Amino acid sequence: MNVLRIFTLSVGIIYFIVGILGFFPGLMSAPPANAPAMTVPYGLLFGLFPVNSLHNIVHLIIGAWGILVYKNFDDSRLYVRSLAVLYAVLGVFGLIPALNTTFGLIPLFGHDIWLHLLTAAAAAYVGYMMPATAQMGQATQPDKSRHV
């Protein structure tokens, strides 16, 4: 398996699991008193990451998408490049007070900001900056076993 497909599957599994975990009340804690107000109730997953049911559904969709497409190189590249753009936008939304609650529906503030920006940076590197030979898992050095 190549780097791009491994990244796609790994991110897919992680986000899918996080989406499931967000539905377990025992893993949630109440937001602090000074947290932004939301239309849809939310809590802090592991006491750190603000999530609610809509946020969990988005994680499940992102995760399932990665799991479903990882076997195909082109689909994996589209997934990873889409993650880079989507999570960069979500990270920036988290930095803007007027947008960090996605109009009161999905919390994007707090620790979600660095997590989204880290996901975007890793996806951008793998999807856009990593050489195609490395994405496909091929050696980047010429094959010295061949004689010309």
Picking from 105, 117, 110, the residue whose alpha carbon sits closest to that of residue 55 is 105
Give residues with Cβ within 8 angstroms of 6, minimum separation 6. none
DSSP state, 130? S
Q: For 74-117, what is each residue's pLDDT tens digit?
A: 999 999 999 999 999 999 999 999 999 999 999 999 999 999 99
Q: Does the pLDDT value for residue 141 go beyond 80?
A: no
Q: Where are the beta strands (DSSP E) in 1-148?
A: 28-29, 43-45, 49-51
Give residues with Cβ within 8 angstroms of 147, minimum separation 6. none
Q: For 6-59, what is each residue's pLDDT tens digit?
A: 999 999 999 999 999 999 999 999 998 888 889 999 999 999 999 999 999 999
pTM: 0.85
CA distance 25 to 21: 9
CA distance 108 to 62: 16
